[in-house]
Structure formats: structure tokens, C-alpha cells
Structure 1
Amino acid sequence: MAPEYARTLESADPYCLRDGEAAGLLARHPWRRFVVLGDSVAEGVTEPIDGYHPSGFPDRVRDELAAARPGLEYLNLGQRGLRVAEVHATQLARALAFRPDLALVVCGANDAMRPGYEARADAVDATLTALIRPLQRAGAQVVTVSVFVMPSYPRMPDWLGTAFSRRMSMLGRRTTALAAALGTVHVDLANHPAIGDDGVLTGSDGLHGNGRSHAIAAAELVRRLARAF
């Protein structure tokens, strides 16, 4: 049954889920306890736009997983503004106490957006590793994401510097490499073709994704998860 909102644009968007696609892909998935850790992206901060689902992509993935396995338990610990070290300090213990078998980790943008990230990148990777490894040892399938990277961020304040996009690209490459090294289920959105198709992916703040970007992210995660079981 179609949701109450008008999803006409999303249904026609080649990068989004087709009607019934998630149900087919996730049928008989094994996960029962899904936790999300990270920053504003993990929290699901978005700006709804007409024609697209209004929820952030972590909640959308939860909805699709729960539709295939009723009774799925879900905990989203994401909080805007946090750097990787803060996510580690404030969320890891709570996530482990939840006893997840699926964990989505999305953070690092608040580290990369600030000047000087290049000198801190190794430390950021080390802290990400310290966040991911305990979840894996506890039996969780860990999912990581390299977030969308725009060619430019004209609405960002001057103090962030003209190299903002370059630093975000660097984060994307390093997150993808770290995911390969750690064996996570990884979704690389940093080079997604939707970035160059003239469609708007950011909200009015010029940084966080709008409804379309979250719809695309949800589709990519669902499709990647379907290959993980």
C-alpha cells in the first residue's frame, strides 16, 4: 500500500527504491537488533521535499528491515555535531549494551569539515577502528558509509575554508579504505552518480541532505545489505 505522502518523484527516480523492491531484497534477512551510531547523518537530519519520503535514511532502513522481520528492535544513538572521538566516548558502551547484530556507523564529517583534518586523519581512522572493532567482536555486522560529497559548498561559512570539499572527499576515500581493511559492509556515496545529475541533494543549510539524498542513501543501503546475507 502506498504511504500517505505523495511519492511521485521518488517512484520515478532511477536511484531510489522501486515499489516492492526492498521487500524482495530483504526477505528472510537475519537481523533482529539494529543500532545506529554517529553524528547528524546517523541521526537522520534531513529537510523534507515534495515527492520524497520525509524520514532520514537510518529510519527508512529500519522500516524496511522491520517490514521483513516484525519485532526488529531499533536504537538510534546518532547526535548532531559530534566528532568521531565523541561518538566513541558517548555511544559505544550504550550500543554494546543493546546487543546488536547489525550496527550502522556514520561519522567523521565533523572532523573532516574543519581545517587541519589532513593532520588528524590518521587519528580519526584509529578512533573509527576503535568504534567498529568492539561491535564486530560482539557479533554485530557493521555497516559503514562514505557520505555524499558535493563539488562545492557555497553556503558554508568562510572559516571552514575553500578546501571543504577536498577534505570531505579525503574522508570518503579513507572511510572506504578503512571499511575494506576492517571488513565492514560499506556503502560509498561520495562518488554517487546522483551528485552530478543536476538534482539538488542538500537542504537549505547547504550541508545536510534533503529528502532525495536520504531516499537514495536508503536505497543504496538496502541493496548493499541484501548482498550481505
Structure 2
Amino acid sequence: MDAMTPLTEDSDPLCLPPLDAAALLFAAPWRRFAVIGDSLSAGTGGPSPGYRHRGWSDRLADVLRAVRPDLEYLSTAEDGATTARTLDTQIGRALEFEPDLLHLPCGANDLLRREPDFAEIGQRLRRMYELASESDALLTTFTLGKAYVVPVFPDWSARVARCNDLTRGLAAEYGAVVVDMWDHPVNARDGLLSEDGIHFAASGQAVMAAEMVKSLSHVLARSTHV
């Protein structure tokens, strides 16, 4: 492909065609998929030419339905939700749903305070993991990418790095699947972000969904060798 030819969902090397994605998850046991958290969990974002305007979590649900037509899917994620709001209003509803696959947030909105309290962020995230671990669901999460920038805070990169460290540590402790987007090559793409400069546009959502599918396929592969 010519270097000047714009990528589309069909030509993007970081995306997965629907049939390929379904093939990776053909043995998926999950029938109840739940998502909690903020707009990043929800897959909020603007359109991208050549890509379906659909968030990563809805895309993942589509892939799972392709192999498990009886899949039940619940997303309580909402724009602006902090870890405190997610604990207060979302995780209880999600656990009542009895998921076997549950996505947890990474605390992005907590970083928007003038002086984030990282000890508090860590405590709230840990409480989510504690509650979620009681459900026996496979847990997933992701780190924030370098492309996610809030210029009003000169220490933004340090904030994100610290929050990502919290996410990685808890994911390792609780056996969660973590998709690490910090150094992902998609961060360098032009047009990755929506007009708000915060959320992945549809092209980024497609890549995020592909990374989730790949990570879950690794879980399946390991389980077949146990």
C-alpha cells in the first residue's frame, strides 16, 4: 500500500478482521461480559474515515457473540466517572449481573484533580479488584496510552505513568488481563484522537478491541496447556 494511502479498518495492520478475531476466540467460555468505569471503558470517541464508529467494548462484545450467540453484555460505564463513583454506583450492579468476564477501569478521571491523591486512587482500585475477585470472573483492564494528554497539567505524563503502575501492579496481583497501551505503536498515529483530544477515535477503538481479543486469546491458549 502507498504510504500516502489512508488506512481503513480493512487495511489497518493493527486491526483484526471479524473472522480472524472470532477464530482467535473460538473456544471462549465467557457468556456474561460486563464493563464498568468511565468513558474510556465505554469506548467513547469520535468517527474515523474508513472505520466503523463503534467503541472497543461493543466491538469485543460483537466478537464474543460471533462465537457465543447467547452472550449477555452489560456496560454501566459512564463519561466522567471517577473511581469513587464507579465503586458507589456501578460495581454492585455489575456483580449482580454475575459476569464471567469483567472489565475494570484505570482511574483516568481521578488524574484530573489539581492534586491527585494516588494513595486514595490505589485504595479504590484495589477495592474494585477485591470485590470483582469474589465473582470468579476473568478480569481485564488497560493502561493509558501516551497519546492521552491533558496539556493544562505540566506533570501529566508523570501522573499517567504513576496511575499505569498502579494498574499493572493490581492486575498482576489479581491475575487480571492487562492490555498495556502506554508504548503501543498506535499512539504515534495522526488522527488517533477524537476532536476532544482525549478519547481514541474509531480507528483507535478498533485497535484497542483487537488488542483485547489477542490478549484473551493468550489466556485461552494457556488454559489449553494446563
- TM-score for the superposition, normalised by structure 2: 0.89
Paired residue for 2:176? 184
Unpaired segments ≥5 residues, structure 2: 1-5, 221-226
Distance 1:43 1:151 in 2: 16
- Equivalent positions of 1:84-123 (< 5 A) are 84-117=83-116, 120-123=117-120
Residue 126 (structure 2) aligned to one of 126, 129, 138: 129
Residue 227 (structure 1) aligned to one of 209, 218, 221: 218
Paired residue for 2:196? 205
Distance 1:29 1:17 in 2: 17
TM-aligned CA deviation for residue 186 of structure 1: 1.0
Paired residue for 1:175? 167
- Residues 218 and 77 of structure 1, relative CA distance in 2, 3 Å threshold: same
Distance 2:17 2:91 in 1: 34
Paired residue for 1:3? none
Paired residue type of 1:201: L
Q: Which runs of structure 1 show a deviation greater than 6 angstroms over 4 or more consecutive aligned residues? A: none
Residue 140 (structure 2) aligned to one of 136, 143, 148: 143
Distance 1:52 1:138 in 2: 35
Unpaired segments ≥5 residues, structure 1: 1-6
Say if 2:101 and 2:137, in contact at 8 Å, map to a contact too: yes
Paired residue type of 2:176: T
Distance 1:82 1:26 in 2: 30
Q: Which moved more, 1:17-26 or 1:102-111?
A: 17-26
What are the superposed Cα offsets for residues 70-124 of structure 1, whole Å, 9 maximum, x if unpaired? 010000000111110110110111011101111011240001233312xx11221
Say if 1:114 and 1:164, in contact at 8 Å, map to a contact too: no
Paired residue for 2:206? 215
TM-aligned CA deviation for residue 199 of structure 1: 2.5
Distance 1:61 1:18 in 2: 12
Say if 1:11 and 1:19, in contact at 8 Å, map to a contact too: no
Q: Which moved more, 1:213-222 or 1:18-27?
A: 18-27
> RMSD value over aligned CA atoms?
1.7
What are the superposed Cα offsets for residues 161-206 of structure 1, whole Å, 9 maximum, x if unpaired? 222233123212221122112211111112211212x432111111
Q: Which moved more, 1:54-63 or 1:145-154?
A: 145-154
Percent identity among equivalent residues?
Answer: 36
- Equivalent positions of 1:54-65 (< 5 A) are 54-65=53-64
Paired residue type of 1:195: N
- Residues 192 and 8 of structure 1, relative CA distance in 2, 3 Å threshold: closer
Paired residue type of 1:51: G
Paired residue type of 1:21: D
TM-aligned CA deviation for residue 35 of structure 1: 0.5
Paired residue type of 1:204: E
Paired residue type of 1:140: A
Paired residue for 2:223? none
